[in-house]
Amino acid sequence: MARWLADETGDPALVVATDIDARLLSPLERDGVRVLEHNVVVDDFPPASFDLIHARTVLEHIAAREDVVERVAPWLAPDGVLVLVDCASFPVFGSHNDVYRDAMSAWVEVLAMTGSDYDWPRTFPGPLQRHGYRNVGACAIAPMVQGGTPMARFWSLTLETLRVRIVEAGLLTTEAIDDARTLLADPEFWDLGPGFVAAWGQRPI
């Protein structure tokens, strides 16, 4: 997204990419994008620093997400826009495939133990309305996942990364995780993946 914004503005120096660990963002610096280590919960920016603030799959993992929606408002120019895009779990809960549904439900539940909330995006654009943002809107997409594709591999690797935590929490057996990963490698498998919900609004007056 930072690279796309740099292309759209025509001046990479106008774009700032941040993370609490910026190591994976370092290639952007070669493109002229400013890269900063920054914790949105405690670190600050001067007032009216940005015309646009875009946070993708960030606030879903932050317990103080509502506080962040409020504290970033002064960083926007008077007509600046905040765009939130977070992952929403609801599409996978309706799956007719028990193996897939149970595995993805375990992903949601185990990350909820550390404060991630994949139900929160379902409330969009409510958080922006509550904090006085203007001209708010929202939209959602529910991408299809086909086994063997890069997206399916992403979710398979996510389950593998969380395997120990899922099993220790009693959410699934290791065999059930193996079954889900086999399913996600099968090109004959198709289902809805987790959705993404976006909300946007202009800075509060």
Residue 179 contacts residue 100 (beta carbons within 8 Å): no
Q: Give pLDDT, residue 126.
A: 97
Model pTM?
Answer: 0.91
- Model confidence over 157-204: pLDDT tens digits? 999 999 999 999 999 999 999 999 999 999 999 999 999 999 999 999
Whole-number Å distance between alpha carbons of 169 and 107: 11
Domains, the chain, with CATH or none: 39-202 (3.40.50)
Residue 190 contacts residue 149 (beta carbons within 8 Å): no
- Model confidence over 151-167: pLDDT tens digits? 999 999 999 999 999 99
